[in-house]
Amino acid sequence: MTDGLHQTLNPLNPVDFPDRLTAMVISDTHGRLSEAAVSVLQRADLIIHAGDLDTEDILTRLLAIAPVVAVRGNMDRGQWTTHLSRTELFQIGKNRIYLLHDISALDLDPGAADIQVVIHGHTHQPMMEKQEQVLVINPGSASHPRNGFTPSAMKLSFNGSAVTPEIIFL
């Protein structure tokens, strides 16, 4: 793994993210990235991956599209994952974002920590809901959906303090 790849996977300094940004969120790719997913991701200023990439190749392919913030999921194993954290906290505009794979491992109170968005994966099912003042989202699985869902991703449009989520079925 090159140092450049390692640096790109780390969240950028909050001042490096503009107030207006389109982030595409995916999770649970499990070593597969369809052409439909690639097409959607090409609209992104930033790609956020909520874990279970399964292969380093997925990271390489994502980085060829846009900067990436990613966390390690329960299926991400091996030397290539050592630089991936279980959680990431970063900021886009006025929004603090907490990223983790499995929501049951949430180790803080997002509202008390002044977090506006929590992103997770693991369930392979898309969801978005407001829990008090916190937007909690799961993009579903881009390659292995469960319970009758189709493959999906999520678009997050940031504009200052406003965040607009949209589920995208692939």
In a domain, 12, yes or no: no
- In terms of C-beta density within 10 A (0-12 exposed, 13-18 middle, 19 or more buried), how is residue 94 classed? middle
In a domain, 5, yes or no: no
In a domain, 11, yes or no: no
CB atoms within 10 A of CB 115: 19
Amino acid at 113: A
* Per-residue model confidence as pLDDT tens digits over 71-83: 999 999 999 999 8
Who wins on pLDDT, 120 or 161?
120
In a domain, 3, yes or no: no
What average pLDDT does the segment 116-135 reach? 96
In a domain, 142, yes or no: yes
In a domain, 107, yes or no: yes
In a domain, 121, yes or no: yes
Total structural domains within the chain? 1
Whole-structure pTM value: 0.90
Q: Is the pLDDT of residue 2 over 70?
A: no
Range of the domain at 29: 17-169
- CATH code of the domain in which 76 resides: 3.60.21.10
* Per-residue model confidence as pLDDT tens digits over 142-161: 998 888 889 999 999 999 89
What is the Cβ-side half-sphere exposure of residue 156, based on CA atoms within 13 angstroms?
28
* Per-residue model confidence as pLDDT tens digits over 63-117: 999 999 999 999 999 999 998 999 999 989 889 999 999 999 999 999 999 999 9
Q: Could you tell me where the DSSP H helices lie in the chain?
A: 3-9, 35-41, 56-63
The answer to whether residues 95 and 114 touch, using CB atoms and an 8 Å cutoff, is: no
